[in-house]
Amino acid sequence: MKKISSPEFNSWTRLALIASSLTLQALTPVFAIELAEKPAAIETLPSGIGQNTFDPAIGMGIEDPLKTPLPLPLNVSAPLREDSLPVTTSVTPTKVGVQSSNLLDSGFRRNDEPEQLPSPASQNNALTSSNIRSGVKASRKRKSALRKKFASKNIALGQLKEMLKVTKERKDIPSDWIKKMQEENAKAAPEVQRLRDAVENLGFDKVALNRKIVAEHNDHYTVKVPDGLITDQAQSGRCWIFAGLNAIRSHLLVEKKLPKDFEFSENYIYFFSMLEQSNSYMEKTLRLTLAQMAGADIPEQTFRGLITPMDKIGDGGWFNWFQFLVSKYGLIPKRMMSNTASSQNSARLGSELQSSLSLYASELMNLMRQKPSVDTAKKAAEIKERARTRIWKILSTHLGTPPKEFEFRQDAKVEKPEEVSKIPATITRYTPLEFSKDFIQFNPADYVTATNYSRKENGKVYEVENSAIGFSEPGEPAFNHRFIQTGAERMAELVAASINAGHPVWFGSQMGRDTDNATGIMHPDIYDRKNVYGFSDAEKKETISRDAATYLGLRELNHAMAFTGYDRPDEKAPLVKFRVENSWGDTVGTKGIYHMYLDWFKENVYQVIVHKKFLSNFEKKAWDGKAKKLKDWDDVL
């Protein structure tokens, strides 16, 4: 524990820190009252350790199933954004050769750098008799107001003191409680003990599987689009790429423009995903470094958090990233750039890229030690160009070199396969962009993200600023994460309308908790947790809301797949389930197909991608209008 002890921390600052360390926000003002006369030493807890393993098992950036932060989501971390740099609007440049005080403890301070004095602002915060008197008066007023507030709620101050007392107590796990639980386990009903033994030997999934739901399940669908070959993202987090390409392919199968065994190159999109993420990191780190050298007031911890590359690049992504990449680089057949060992198991590639980007950041920091000159920006740009060249070499070694153009062959349909036939063929030479625009005719800007986020207003459009994977060309769409909040029921309607018209649907959801990979069934009650764990009747009634589960991270956007059908035997009744094309190979689910029931959809699907022609007039008008800007990915959920 590190104690904070400084004359700059007056009693009111202490109170604020103590109050903020307590999680009961509703009681924070009361804590302040109790502690007003007794400022204590402040202890800061060490921050947790987080490691990006860069070994995602399933997509959208979760490294290890159900990894982290939204996002971004997805653990998808948004690239460093220019607007996130805490550069003050009024910057006072330091003297030439004198570094700002932000790096005093970072090892970058030069021997000749003068020691920094406290700023006038910090001196004004020092304890004075005037400050104390004014603080006491303010405290009395707050006490009076709080007493009236809590009196109106029939909460006695004595009760609040008891609650405060509990928060101060630190209780361990009593040995008597351990003995009690051991005795209860020994007295457990025979059926509960048998279930526990079975879980130990067979695993939770097999034992807890709800046999009633499995028995009532079927693999039938009233509407579905054609399937191509089931794809496999292997040990990588590229689900968002696979889902996007699979959805495009299925629509082309509907139009009979491609054979059933055709597959797009996921590796091609992945190559440019890693290149764009690396370039975004390099560009924003360069701007950050130059701003720091110019005297911007960036605290050292903030600077370090922004400049480290370890959480800035990864396999995961969003559909708006897919839109950006296809719009800029086009598409190619898989045979032109097949998967490699590193694309299917990306851990080594990730560590090599992060090492190279760390070298880049180190070179920029070395530049910061030097005396600024008219050539400083030029030197920084040269460092970036060398780093970008290194990244290209690493990517092309691990993933192959993207082709500039290729030949695409189309064979005529054989009318009578049992007879000898002449099969005319057409061979066309395309660039990747020509193939995407002229043959595939996929326009990324035609697609809209509809969402079911608990804390957003239905019918409103939102946009996360600077959330694109890269920088757009002048006049081109930015492809930020832009979405219209519709709610679950409307999302289901949009999915059905899209599939009816032969358009599969990319979607992002929570994946893992209520999904049986052996059968492919996605149902909120697929596992009978309450009986397997031997919960009491009271415990069985305890539930958590979707909003709370999302807020606490139990549910998060961590995997992308494609809807390719739905089941509605009774047109007057709600949908029963959706047909899902996953990208985990054909050994899971029903030969790679999963079955999502409507209740699971409502709880776990956060966004779907549909063509804008399926929106209502009201939704189109909202989409074409002005979006509410969100500053950060955290604002989405």
Query: What is the reported pLDDT for 417?
Result: 66
Query: What is the reported pLDDT for 81?
Result: 34
Tell me how far apart the alpha carbons of residues 47 and 305 are, in angstroms, rounded to a whole number: 13
Tell me how far apart the alpha carbons of residues 63 and 69 are, in angstroms, rounded to a whole number: 10
pLDDT in tens, 495-507: 999 999 999 999 9
Residue written as token pair 């879980």: 199
- Pick out the chain residues at pLDDT < 50: 1-132
Contact 280, 80 (CB under 8 A): yes
Q: Does residue 364 have a cis bond before it (omega within 30 degrees)?
A: no
Query: What is the reported pLDDT for 418?
Result: 67
Query: What is the reported pLDDT for 120?
Result: 35
Tell me how far apart the alpha carbons of residues 323 and 320 are, in angstroms, rounded to a whole number: 5
Label each residue of 387-444 as H, E or C: HHHHHHHHHHHHHCCCCCCEEEEEECCCCCCCCCCCCCEEEEEECHHHHHHHHHCCCH
Tell me how far apart the alpha carbons of residues 575 and 47 are, in angstroms, rounded to a whole number: 46
Contact 566, 496 (CB under 8 A): yes
Give the largest Cα separation in the chain, rounded: 104
Query: What is the reported pLDDT for 454?
Result: 85
